[in-house]
Structure 1
């Protein structure tokens, strides 16, 4: 773990500190997923809170007082590297999830927070069972720009690149329905998963710069859990809006 937390100063902060823990950025950080943690850091500051951004990698002591968890994607080799350590942390992560800790899980960690990931060669990588999902590797590559209609966050935009196909069980609901792109698998038209305060998705790009509504959900939920209420600031969404306009025009 990075021994020194990174913080972004801002005038007028004084509402309290929100601690963001990024899981396994050394091995599970592909297609710009690190940007999700940076967006949370900046938007926490814009809302007038003090951000504290920590890394958790294999073998580190797990941080105390976690307010938000962010996890990214990685290749199969990265999943194998973190597998044993993730299992060692499974009970703590399940407790945090059941207690309502907001989490953003992208691609590889979306898969490993499920029941299992079975590779196309038949190897089974066990998950930690936070999410009622299972993933099977295939020879089909699901790749391209994606639009997702969601009931909570409006239109969600991103980019997918995965060969694992995920099926949702009855214990979760989809993040949304794909209007462009594939999403969880090539058959049901769903993308991502929602459970308690967890948002799980295959969308890279990174996701949060183009979808600040999801970032603000994570921040608001964390603040309400920690301080009893959320006092919003005035984030600067000009660049997010431009990014969304550009992404929405892209072909599949």
Structure 2
């Protein structure tokens, strides 16, 4: 019997990149939902789903990965939601479906379900997003932010200070995002542009929901953020405190440290 277990992502069975030992997944199931993987995952954000599935398994839990496409119903069990970036056209495509499942998503957020929404999905979970062409798309209001599309792209490597430690990634967005007065940012910018290129903040965090412009994808290089999401999801799934395993994140630490040193000197 092969020790590796199948994880279905994007309709194809994929192996975890490190086989699990028998009996190490008995802590409970974590149901992970990837929102709109075809329309809203164009800058490598699928890597966040793969990273989470692998780390969930290494921590001794069983990942159950779902895909949500327009027209689908959300699974009955949801412990962790992930969404990525897309073109304006992709956001327009998913807008109607997002409104259809919006009440459920708001309810999940109110219940403390963990969420990571990157770039375009971050914008759509705000109050409004106005495209470069002037079309205003209503958001779900999970984050108190508004975004206005522009001609200038904010693009390049970025370094943040966050509650999870230093975080690195790569931003690529033309939308300028403004936070409401009471909206906490995901982090403060040490290098890069952030939400709007001028206020010194990046992303937003409300409860267990994180919105950010950081591609990369963000999670493989920042395992502390990944484990925070997994910890929240594990507690929601099992009703117990997160029971992490010691993991070797030395490669990620070195990559993060070297990017910070290169950018900040």
SS in 2 for 1:38: helix
Shift of 1:171: 4.0
SS in 2 for 1:167: strand
Shift of 1:251: 4.6
Q: Confirm or deny that 1:45 pairs with 2:57.
A: yes
Give distance in 1, aligned partners of 2:63 and 2:14: 8
Partner of 2:215: 204
**Cα deviation digits, residues 54-97 of structure 1 (max 9, x gap):** 11111122111101000100010100110100100100000000
Structure 1: 4+ residue segments shifted above 3 A:
1-9, 249-252
Structural mapping, 1:8-157, within 5 Å: 8=16, 10-11=20-21, 12-150=24-162, 152-157=163-168
Please tell me the root mean square deviation across aligned C-alpha atoms, in Å.
1.8
SS in 2 for 1:74: coil
Q: Confirm or deny that 1:235 pairs with 2:253.
A: no
Give distance in 2, aligned partners of 1:248 and 1:209: 16
5+ residue gaps, structure 1: none
Give distance in 2, aligned partners of 1:69 and 1:222: 9
- Bigger mean CA deviation after superposition, 220-229 or 32-41: 220-229
**Cα deviation digits, residues 89-116 of structure 1 (max 9, x gap):** 1000000001100000100000000111
Q: Confirm or deny that 1:176 pairs with 2:187.
A: yes
Partner of 2:5: none
SS in 2 for 1:239: helix
Partner of 1:165: 176
Question: Normalising to structure 2: TM-score of the pair?
Answer: 0.90
SS in 2 for 1:61: coil
Matched residue count: 251
Question: Normalising to structure 1: TM-score of the pair?
Answer: 0.94
Contact kept, 8 Å, 1:7 with 1:51, in 2: the verdict is: no
SS in 2 for 1:222: helix
Shift of 1:244: 1.4
Shift of 1:250: 4.6
Shift of 1:226: 2.2
Give distance in 2, aligned partners of 1:132 and 1:233: 35
Give distance in 1, aligned partners of 2:191 and 2:204: 17
Give distance in 1, aligned partners of 2:102 and 2:223: 29
